[in-house]
């Protein structure tokens, strides 16, 4: 049994890598991805020049595949959890999504108000964070429901990440206790981003001269993190769909279930 599972994993990895490389090859050459199942078959170069270009492009694709494969696996994991949200959101709709988020955050706000011991300031912090989370979740649902891969990647995922990242930052403006943690960690993250991301591309000095990390700048900073992070998650899910279509996984699961029934 263990050997069969190991062989299955190896076969799955081999198929993923093959699809990624075939997709890379298809950027320049026709009939590369899955062409072995077509009547015409896989296109192969016939002239010496085409053969040289084919080999060079194939060799260039090897490091690209090595970089993309871990991202594709991340996309499979993100897709797994996002499908759970998709299934729930489809059943309850926009009103249900807003209601669920309102109940969850409203309950937290009520607990803080009644038993938290944080006073009026703590209550306002959680209340504002709750409103931020509910609004961001609603926007994420609206853009997801609108349909289309571009809209989902460009808008739905960023607002979904915003619903997770922004509430603590907003709450920090109303609570010194929360602010001591959030603002301190935000400054540390900003230093890392300036030195590791923006300095190599020559933008560190410009950002330091134009922006001061105070007040509302913290909100802009985290929104600026949430948006590209949402794009990244949307792109890795797209990569997962391209490399390992959901239909294949569903077929494998149903095939496995049938085999176990037998």
Q: In whole angstroms, what is the distance from residue 233 CA to residue 153 CA? A: 8
- Look at residue 121 and tell me if it is in a domain: yes
- Look at residue 38 and tell me if it is in a domain: no
> What is the helix, strand, coil percentage profile of the chain, to 5?
85, 0, 15
254 versus 186: the higher-pLDDT residue is 186
What is the residue whose two structure tokens read 């599972």? 5
Residue 250: band (very low, low, confident or very high) from pLDDT cuts 50, 70, 90 = low
Q: In whole angstroms, what is the distance from residue 195 CA to residue 207 CA? A: 11
Residue 258 above 50 pLDDT?
no
Residue 259: band (very low, low, confident or very high) from pLDDT cuts 50, 70, 90 = very low
What's the pLDDT score for residue 229?
92
- Look at residue 129 and tell me if it is in a domain: yes
Q: Is 18 helix (H, G, I), strand (E, B) or coil?
A: helix
- Look at residue 203 and tell me if it is in a domain: yes
Q: Number of folded domains in the chain? A: 1
- Look at residue 77 and tell me if it is in a domain: no
Residue 21 above 80 pLDDT?
yes
Task: Encode 27-55 in three state secondary structure.
Answer: CCCCCCCCHHHCCCCCCCCCCHHHHHHHH
What's the pLDDT score for residue 251?
53
The pLDDT tens digits for 121-180 are: 667 777 787 888 888 888 888 888 877 788 888 888 898 888 888 888 877 877 788 788
Angle at 193 between CA 191 and CA 195, to 5 degrees: 70
Q: In whole angstroms, what is the distance from residue 54 CA to residue 48 CA? A: 10
C-alpha dihedral over 197, 198, 199, 200, to 10 degrees?
60
Task: Kindly state the average pLDDT of the residues 22-47.
Answer: 80
Closest CA to 53 of 45, 42, 61: 45
The pLDDT tens digits for 172-214 are: 877 788 788 888 999 999 999 898 888 888 888 888 888 888 8
Closest CA to 164 of 258, 82, 67: 82
Task: Kindly state the average pLDDT of the residues 105-116.
Answer: 71
> Could you give the percent of the chain with pLDDT greater than 90?
14
Residue 260 above 50 pLDDT?
no
Q: In whole angstroms, what is the distance from residue 143 CA to residue 153 CA? A: 9
- Look at residue 116 and tell me if it is in a domain: yes
- Look at residue 118 and tell me if it is in a domain: yes
The pLDDT tens digits for 49-85 are: 888 999 999 999 999 999 999 999 999 888 888 887 7
Q: In whole angstroms, what is the distance from residue 9 CA to residue 248 CA? A: 14
- Look at residue 260 and tell me if it is in a domain: no
Instruction: Look up the domain containing 212 and give its range.
Output: 92-236
């Amino acid at each position: 049994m263990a050997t069969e599972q190991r062989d299955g994993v190896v076969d799955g990895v081999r198929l993923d890598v093959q699809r990624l490389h075939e997709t890379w090859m298809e950027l320049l050459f026709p009939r590369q991805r899955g062409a072995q199942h077509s009547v015409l078959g896989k296109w192969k170069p016939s002239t010496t020049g085409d053969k040289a270009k084919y080999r060079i492009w194939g060799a260039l694709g090897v490091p690209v595949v090595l970089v993309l494969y871990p991202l594709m696996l991340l996309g499979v994991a993100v897709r797994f959890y996002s499908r759970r949200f998709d299934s729930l959101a489809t059943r309850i709709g926009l009103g249900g999504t807003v209601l669920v988020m309102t109940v969850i955050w409203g309950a937290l706000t009520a607990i803080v108000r009644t038993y938290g011991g944080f006073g009026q300031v703590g209550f306002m912090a959680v209340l504002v964070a709750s409103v931020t989370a509910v609004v961001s979740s609603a926007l994420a649902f609206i853009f997801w429901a609108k349909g289309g891969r571009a809209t989902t990647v460009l808008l739905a995922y960023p607002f979904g990440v915003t619903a997770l990242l922004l509430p603590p930052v907003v709450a920090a403006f109303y609570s010194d206790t929360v602010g001591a943690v959030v603002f301190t960690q935000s400054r540390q993250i900003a230093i890392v981003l300036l030195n590791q991301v923006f300095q190599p591309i020559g933008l560190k000095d410009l950002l330091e001269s134009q922006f001061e990390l105070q007040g509302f700048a913290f909100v802009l900073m985290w929104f600026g993190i949430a948006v590209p992070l949402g794009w990244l998650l949307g792109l890795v899910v797209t990569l997962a769909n391209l490399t390992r279509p959901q239909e294949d996984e569903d077929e494998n699961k149903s095939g496995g279930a049938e085999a176990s029934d037998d």
